[in-house]
Amino acid sequence: LNERTIIQGGCWDYLNAVFKRAGVTRDTIHKGTYGQGPYANSGEIEVGDWLYYINHGYNGVEHSGLFVGWVDEQAKQALILSYAGESRREPARYRVYDLSNVYQIMRPNV
C-alpha cells in the first residue's frame, strides 16, 4: 500500500499477492455464494479478514477486500482496503463499503 504497487488483475489478485508477501495462508471461516448466501453476520468478521461481498456501491458486482474495521456496524458500513483492478492503473486504497452481503470470509493463518 505504501509503495502504491499496481498488481495486474483484479481485487482477488491483489489480496492474493498481499497474503503471499506477508507469508500467511488463509482459512475459510464462512462460505456462501454471491447470489444466494448464506451471508455472514457482522460478528463473524475480524480485522484482517479477506472478505468477498456484493458491492452495492458499484452495480452489485462481486468484490473482495481486506477488512480494517467497522465505521458503523449496525448500518454494516466498514473500512476496507480495496483494489479496483479491471485494468485500471490505480493503487489500493481505503474506502467505506456496505457489508450487508458478505458471502465469504477468509482469515489469515499465521
pLDDT at residue 1 greater than cutoff 60: no
Number of other CB atoms surrounding residue 18 within 10 Å: 19
Task: Provide the 8-state DSSP code for 63.
Answer: E
Residue 49, in any domain of the structure: yes
Q: pLDDT tens for residues 36-72?
A: 999 999 999 999 999 999 998 777 678 999 999 999 9
Closest CA to 103 of 37, 43, 15: 37
Asked, for residue 51, whether it belongs to a domain, the answer is yes
- Average pLDDT, integer, range 21-44: 95
Question: Does any domain span residue 28?
Answer: yes
What is the count of structural domains for the chain? 1
Cell 464462512: give the residue. Answer: 30
* Measured distance CA(26)–CA(49) in Å, rounded: 9
Asked if residue 32 has pLDDT above 90, the reply is yes
Structural domain of residue 37, as residue ranges? 11-109
On whether residue 4 sits in a domain, the answer given is: no
In a domain, 6, yes or no: no
Q: Answer yes or no: is 57 within a domain.
A: yes
Place of cell 499465521: 110
